[in-house]
């Protein structure tokens, strides 16, 4: 297990550079790394190599729009668990929000949105990501300890079995010729059986 603390990453997806700059400014100072993607296609490429705590995804983009990008994200085993927050200037009609939630989004914010609300939401997802990461690390450590204990138990059992076999062989040789030693070996064998 690595002693270096892994920082959460937030993926910002928007085709407009000025929107990415605004998001970076809003999220500045949170304990995370920001990764930007100017398109849905680029976001999917980033998701092949990096793990993210949350994705902030613009809906209206040329080529692959946000809804289609989200559908691809949710189809992949590796990325389907990543929370997606849609950010959009598209009209506020309920069917747009419904479509966002239907594609797997955890939230749908219409622009202009409150920067403090967005910051708080991202902060919650970063916290959840960190707790999940810690839980996974502790689970891995526990599995390693269980495996080490199982190996040690197997080795100890094998050593006891070999000792028991040697005592039984010695007992078989001594029973007829040396009753006192045979009695001591029976006691030793009893003690081995109690371990």
Average pLDDT over residues 40-48: 95
Q: Which of 121, 33, 45 is nearest to 79 (CA)?
A: 45
At residue 113, the pLDDT reads: 87
Confidence check: pLDDT of 104 > 50:
yes
Q: Select the CATH number that applies to the domain covering 8-138 from these four: 3.30.70.330, 3.30.230.70, 3.40.50.2300, 3.50.50.60.
A: 3.40.50.2300
Task: Dump pLDDT digits (tens) for 134-143.
Answer: 898 888 888 8
Question: How many CB atoms are located within 10 Å of the residue 137 CB?
Answer: 13
Task: Dump pLDDT digits (tens) for 112-159.
Answer: 889 999 999 999 999 999 999 889 888 888 888 888 888 777 877 788
pTM above 0.85, yes or no: no
- Domain range list for the chain: 8-138, 142-194
């Amino acid at each position: 297990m690595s002693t270096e603390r892994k920082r959460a990453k937030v993926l910002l997806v928007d085709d407009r550079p000025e929107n990415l700059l605004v998001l970076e400014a809003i999220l500045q100072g949170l304990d995370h790394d920001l990764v930007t993607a100017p398109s849905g296609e680029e976001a999917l490429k980033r998701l092949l190599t990096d793990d993210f705590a949350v994705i902030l995804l613009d809906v209206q983009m040329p080529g692959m729009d946000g809804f289609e990008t989200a559908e691809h994200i949710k189809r992949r085993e590796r990325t389907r668990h990543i929370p997606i927050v849609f950010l959009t200037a598209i009209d506020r009609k309920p069917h747009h929000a419904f479509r966002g939630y239907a594609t797997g989004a955890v939230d749908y914010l219409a622009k202009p949105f409150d920067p403090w609300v967005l910051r708080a939401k991202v902060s919650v997802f970063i916290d959840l990501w960190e707790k999940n990461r810690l839980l996974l690390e502790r689970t891995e450590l526990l599995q390693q300890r269980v495996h080490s204990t199982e190996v040690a138990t197997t080795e100890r059992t094998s050593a006891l079995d070999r000792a028991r076999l040697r005592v039984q062989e010695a007992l078989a040789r001594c029973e007829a010729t040396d009753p006192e030693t045979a009695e001591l070996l029976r006691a030793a064998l009893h003690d081995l059986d109690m371990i």
